[in-house]
Amino acid sequence: MKCLIVDDNIIARTTLKQLVSQVSDLQLSGECASAMEAYNVLREKPVDLLLLDIEMPGMTGIELTRNLQAERPIIIFTTSKKEYAAEAFDLNVADYIVKPITPGRFLQAIDKAREMLQCNSEQVKLSDEEFIFIRDSNIVRRLKLSDILYVEAMGDYVKLHTAQKYFAIHATMKEVEQRLPSSRFLRVHRSFIAAIDKIDTIQEGTLIINGKPVPVADAYRAALNKRMNVL
């Protein structure tokens, strides 16, 4: 795994570099003293894993995480404060280590990062093979991508609509958007993702899919018109 260390404290960076050097499958791609520096580096040189401090001058580690694109690396927060843990885990990070970092605790976090990276790779593969797995109640069900008409946010759940029924899964829209191939699905609203090949008509800023209206937000209209090659 290629990793990047981000911490404004040089001693903390040195400690992390020493730990990284002792793990055979970790490759240090670089180190940054600020979140803004890391943001610019990641745009040019993506990595698999980010070892990220939270409290830094300017942009915080949590703010950086929120500003990274969907293809963001796996993140392990390394911080001297415990109070950010709940907010950090809401961002679906691999782990949260409170300094000082011991070798044993570091290896535990790396194991979690490996599992998450492997899971992400399997999800991409499943999407390429034209289906995804979803948890429907206590059943893990295979769902063909071609059956999905559109996706709708519903509180802490997301509804995957098909022609016959919908499946409600406990996930965020961002997580579902990452799972679905962008070649076939497009975010058209904060609360809706549409299957491009299932759109019948567009009427006054609303998509009609299988007879059902799906709203299109102004922020997404240009991207939709471009994808549909509307004249």
In tens, the pLDDT along 171-224 reads 889 889 988 888 889 999 999 999 999 999 988 789 999 999 999 998 888 888
Q: State which H helix or E strand residue 135 sits in.
A: strand 131-136
Is the pTM higher than 0.85?
A: no
- What CA–CA distance (Å, rounded) separates 53 from 51? 7
Give residue for tokens 């390429």.
128
Task: Give all domains of the chain, ordered by start, each with its CATH number.
Answer: 2-127 (3.40.50.2300), 137-228 (2.40.50.1020)
Look up tokens 């699905």; give the residue.
185
Tell me: the pLDDT tens digits for 65-104? 999 865 689 999 999 988 988 888 778 788 999 999 999 9
Which of 156 and 153 is assigned the larger pLDDT?
153
What is the gyration radius of the CA atoms in the chain, in angstroms? 20
Is 78 in contact with 51 (CB distance < 8 Å)? Answer: yes
The DSSP secondary structure of 2-61, one letter per residue, reads EEEEE-S-HHHHHHHHHHHHTSTT-EEEEEESSHHHHHHHHHHS--SEEEE-S--SSS-H
Query: Cβ neighbours of residue 51 under 8 Å, at least 6 residues apart?
Result: 3, 4, 5, 6, 7, 16, 20, 76, 78
Q: What is the pLDDT of residue 86?
A: 82
